Amino acid sequence: MGFDKILAKIGDSTVIEYTINAFLECISVNEVIIVINEKSIQKIKDLISDTNTGDEIRICTGGKSRRDSVANGLEHVGEESGYVAVHDGARPWIRPAQIEKVFETAIKYGAAASARPITDTVKRCDPEGTIIESISRKSLWAMETPQIFKTELLKRAYKQAIIDDHLVTDEVSAVELIGEPVRVVHDSFKNPKVTFPDDLNAQDLTH
């Protein structure tokens, strides 16, 4: 993007504001913890100054990797929190209804993640870009967020990931390290991560 994509504008609001507001609309969400790089902290504080009237939003600094950033965020999760959701701030199209669906599944099974079944044909290529083989898309799912877990479970998983020095790419990967199952929850609406400038015009943002 060439700049911090969570501060990009979609209409009158920024990407991160859409994301935060989706969670604040959820009955199941008591608090939002924003994990952000140190340079953007003041900008985020300015953005949420009107929204954060009840101190339901907290901010902490991230780390060198996603693993370290999530671990930092987990340190700010109180003991009274039975469940914790981790979401990419750059996925502003998440809908409160989907967050609640993932939460309900997490309550039932202990761990759940928003995801979409892969519908495109998938190929494996060599480093030069030549196709080596076709991969059956049957039973393949693309992981999205939020990913919601019992707080104790996710803290234990990240503790193990750090001990083993595994640079996990998402929370499901961390929980897999300790052998715990995770259920997927199909999101019927597109919930892409903003990566390129054109993504900002991807779809309507009416929750």
* In contact, 181 and 138? CB cutoff 8 Å: no
Beta bridge partners of 143: 115
> Which segments in the chain show pLDDT lower than 70?
1-3, 51-55, 201-207
Which of 190, 200, 94 is CA-nearest to residue 147?
94
Could you tell me the pTM of the whole model?
0.90
Q: Looking at the domain that runs over 5-191, which CATH code has it been given? A: 3.90.550.10
At residue 1, the pLDDT reads 47
Q: How far is CA 120 from CA 76, 94, 134, 135, 145, in A?
A: 39, 22, 11, 11, 20
Whole-number pLDDT of residue 28: 94
Which residues fall within 8 angstroms of residue 8, CB to CB, at 6 or more apart?
Answer: 1, 14, 15, 194, 200
Q: Give the model's pLDDT for residue 3.
A: 56
What are the sequence ranges of the domains in the chain? 5-191
